Structure 1
Amino acid sequence: MARGRRDSIKALGLMGLVLALGITFAGAAFAPARAAEQVTVFAAASLKNALDAVNTEWEKETGRKTTASYAASSALAKQIEQGAPADIFISADLAWMDYLAERKLVKGDTRSNLLGNRIVLVSGQPDAEAVEIGPGLDLAHLLGDGRLAMGAVDSVPAGKYGKAALEKLGLWASVAPKVAGAESVRAALLLVSRGEAPYGIVYRTDAAADPGVKVVGTFPEDSHPPIVYPIAITAESSNADAAAYLDFVKSPRAAALFEAQGFTVLE
């Protein structure tokens, strides 16, 4: 009789353990969903300083995370075309956003024009004199035996804007043999900052971000197409935070951070 009672107690104990495990498993089934993925942003290299500041504010305000990949807009657009997992694309020109839109790789209803910028002539020489940029500028003479650093003129937006301006001003033919094309505008900026090129054409915002260069002239706005930075959510993004991030980037709080870096806010 005593033995039977002990067996019953054991059986009840085993059942209790099974029930306990069952409750644990059931609890796991109803555990909170995994936190949303971080928002992945592909952005033109010239945006780095400003967008880093915006992302810091976004993370501070929401507790959500972002990761940003900076490069030439052309390179980023091609990566998205090849399936790179980006949620947001910010181009330094309309052409590369159009490139993705034509291939239905961005969500058209999320696209807008976010920022504007200017292109400037910079030098790494502290005593470089200011010049008036116009048809009368002898830029080839100014360069001497040196090179003119700028983004690759066939793909990098800053390079395309720069070439357009030089053509409009009648200066391109004389300086074309002296151009040092770089993979991005930040790479061109670095060539000047390091003294590897005496002059370069970069965005005004890039010049402000590097104390190693000084602006010696600003290109007339009518010498090149308007510099516009469009933004959109990629077609493949399923990140629930992407829309909220997009709204934040277009908010007055973000606008102040962009303006602090020299951008013009278009919305």
Structure 2
Amino acid sequence: MKKIIFATALLSVCSLLQAEIVKVYAAASLTNAMNDIAKIYQKQYPQKNIVAVFGASSALAKQVESGASSDIFFSADVDWMNYLINKKMITANKTEALLSNQLVAISPQSLNIIFKAEPSFNFGSSFKGYLCTGQMESVPAGKYAKQSLIKLNWLDSLKGRIVGTDDVRSTLAFVERGECAVGIVYKTDALISKKVKIIGIFPEASHHPIIYPIALTKQGEKNLDAIQFEKFIKSSPQAKSIFQKYGFNIQK
């Protein structure tokens, strides 16, 4: 009997040792949703070990390119996913456009700023101080913001007043603290904060579609636990419900 108990215990230990860590590199705007999804998943599969790294998709893609250990890449735009495909870090036909989002302007709750998404509206004169958004040449939220500001003919009038941040959550923090009077973030980021309010929504036609593609990296394709977790993110009712809870739109 003792030998049977010992053998059973040994098998349990071995199964735990065989469970690989799954490293997920995900856009900062996915922080709350992905943390919730990981908790539910690990409750169902206690032996699984999910480690999430959040940041600007641009910074994360560069880390993956540099050899950082990553199994799943979940980007806030298609460009950075394509960047890793071109770098042979991700297999092209294994990406999936999973979510979409909206681009909004926010301000601290205490301010009353008028916003009209029209080229004829002088947005720069509607508020004092700075406008924060992601770095416009790399961070997806900043890239979308630049496209909209150009489309609405507002960019030139805001020169010298735009603060580029490392990622969309940094933008949110700047506005929450009142260091920026206006921020351009995703709708999902604005909804998680009680310190800011949405003052306007940028027309979808003013920027490229805000799509969140997900894919296994070449490393992740060899990790059975990563394959299982990616499937859970993409197709489980629990994950879908969490994404919708935070304001994301499911692509299919």
TM-score (norm 2): 0.90
Shift of 1:127: 4.2
Is residue 85 of structure 1 aligned with residue 69 of structure 2? yes
Name 1:207's counterpart in structure 2: 190
Shift of 1:129: 4.3
Is residue 260 of structure 1 aligned with residue 245 of structure 2? yes
- Checking the alignment, whether the CA contact within 8 Å between 2:113 and 2:127 is kept in structure 1 is no
Shift of 1:130: 5.0
Q: Larger radius of gyration, structure 1 or 2?
A: 1
- Checking the alignment, whether the CA contact within 8 Å between 2:107 and 2:199 is kept in structure 1 is yes
Q: State, as a whole percentage, how many aligned pairs show the same letter.
A: 41
Name 2:80's counterpart in structure 1: 96
2:160 counterpart SS class:
helix
Is residue 245 of structure 1 aligned with residue 225 of structure 2? no
TM-score (norm 1): 0.85
List runs of 5+ in structure 1 lacking aligned partners. Answer: 1-23
Partner Cα separation in structure 2 for residue 32 and residue 247 of structure 1: 25
Is residue 32 of structure 1 aligned with residue 14 of structure 2? yes
1:77 counterpart SS class:
helix
1:221 to 200, 204, 217: 204
Name 2:97's counterpart in structure 1: 113
Partner Cα separation in structure 1 for residue 212 and residue 159 of structure 2: 26
- Checking the alignment, whether the CA contact within 8 Å between 1:126 and 1:214 is kept in structure 2 is no
- Checking the alignment, whether the CA contact within 8 Å between 2:113 and 2:126 is kept in structure 1 is no
State how many pairs are aligned: 240
Partner Cα separation in structure 1 for residue 108 and residue 193 of structure 2: 10
List runs of 5+ in structure 2 lacking aligned partners. Answer: 1-5
Cα offsets for 1:127-149 (capped at 9, x unmatched): 424522221222211232x1100
Which deviates more, 198-207 or 57-66? 57-66
Which deviates more, 62-71 or 222-231? 62-71
